[in-house]
Amino acid sequence: MSARILDGKAIAARIRAGLAERVATLSFRPGLRVVRVGEDPASGVYVRNKDKAATAAGFDSATIHLPAETTEADLLATIARLNADPAVDGILVQLPLPAHIRTEAAIAAVDPAKDVDGFHPLNAGRLAAGQPGLVPCTPRGVMHILAESGVALRGARAVVLGRSQIVGRPMAQLLLGADCTVTIAHSRTRDLAAECRRAEILVAAVGRPEMVRGDWIAPGAVVVDVGINRLPDGKLVGDVAFAEAAAVAGAITPVPGGVGPMTIACLLENTLDAAIARRGAA
């Protein structure tokens, strides 16, 4: 193996420690509310981890767990109550929602000033327009990892594999904002391997276990693996075949311990940003 390992877990721990220090200087505790509907088991783990991390950093954090049969109207009423609550700075509606609730309706109901997921169309539009706003947590975390990796972004050829609203699209916007030359590749791209091989920075966010092989990677490239996929034997793997890729890349994030821990750290960053924007730094 030749690639440098980009230790997201360590970077996330530093960010969280820095946030805890800043929160301790405030005259209020930034308020985060995570709304979970139903019993999706993976969501249960994520929501618990978010709550634990927020509380450890000094945030006022709580999870609102609604039953699976909650109607869309009831969920929107819960969101409206949180929008109106002055103690709440950040609202996150955990996805996926049960099939009878429209995800877009829930996302659009969140006050854009409290939208710590950065999924509201107003925040997505601000990002696309190059204006300040709340940015989705995972892409924000990837930008931190790239900053820490020392890779020069200006003029670099970046390929984002995946075009989701949560990762691919905002990731491409952030890289563009950092003066990369950005390609978004996806399941309909004609020769995915060839597109990836052109990348000096490759961000894989497709949710397909080990799809990116070693021969898709240019020697020395920086590879950021956003995927978290559980194999039938219970093993967690990314979207990148790690051992093959690490033999070619210059630097690579592992799974687990790469991008995953950054997402929660950036949720806390977004919540503190939202709190300070709403209340001032008093």
Looking at 55-63, 93-101, 207-215, 268-276, which segment touches ligand GUN (CB under 6 A)? 93-101
Establish if 82 lies at the interface with ligand GUN (CB under 6 A).
Answer: no
Known catalytic residue: 165? no
279: which 2 tokens? 């209340």
CB of 271 to ligand GUN, least distance (A): 13
Residue 257: what residue type? G
Judged by CB under 6 A, the residue of 54, 82, 166, 226 near ligand GUN is: 166
Binders of ligand GUN: how many residues, by CB under 6 A?
A: 8
CB of 97 to ligand GUN, least distance (A): 9
CB of 137 or CB of 218, closer to ligand GUN: 137
Find where tokens 């670099």 sit: 156
Query: CB-based contacts of 225: which residues, under 8 Å, 6+ apart?
Result: 204, 212, 238, 239, 240, 242, 252, 253, 254, 255, 258, 259
162 is in an annotated binding site: yes
Establish if 226 lies at the interface with ligand GUN (CB under 6 A).
Answer: no
CB of 113 to ligand GUN, least distance (A): 17
Looking at 61-69, 88-96, 228-236, 252-260, which segment touches ligand GUN (CB under 6 A)? 88-96
156: which 2 tokens? 């670099």
36 is in an annotated binding site: no
Distance CA 251, CA 8 (A): 12
Distance CA 214, CA 193 (A): 10
CA torsion, points 116, 264, 252, 119, in degrees to nearest 10?
A: -20
Looking at 92-100, 149-157, 171-179, 225-233, which segment touches ligand GUN (CB under 6 A)? 92-100
Establish if 94 lies at the interface with ligand GUN (CB under 6 A).
Answer: yes
Q: Which of residues 21-50 bind ligand GUN (CB under 6 A)?
A: none
> 238 φ, ψ to 5°?
-90, -165
Establish if 93 lies at the interface with ligand GUN (CB under 6 A).
Answer: yes
CB 118 within 8 A of CB 242: no
Strand 251-252 and strand 4-5: the pairing is: parallel
Q: Find, among 243, 177, 169, the residue nearest to 203 by Cα.
A: 169
Distances (CA, A) of 54 to 20, 51, 100, 271: 9, 5, 30, 9
Known catalytic residue: 225? no
Establish if 11 lies at the interface with ligand GUN (CB under 6 A).
Answer: no
Known catalytic residue: 131? no
251: which 2 tokens? 């630097």
Binding-site annotation, residues for NADP(+): 162-164, 228
Binding-site annotation, residues: 162-164, 228
Contacts to ligand GUN by CB under 6 A = 92-95, 117, 137-138, 166
Q: Which residues are designated catalytic?
A: 50, 94, 117
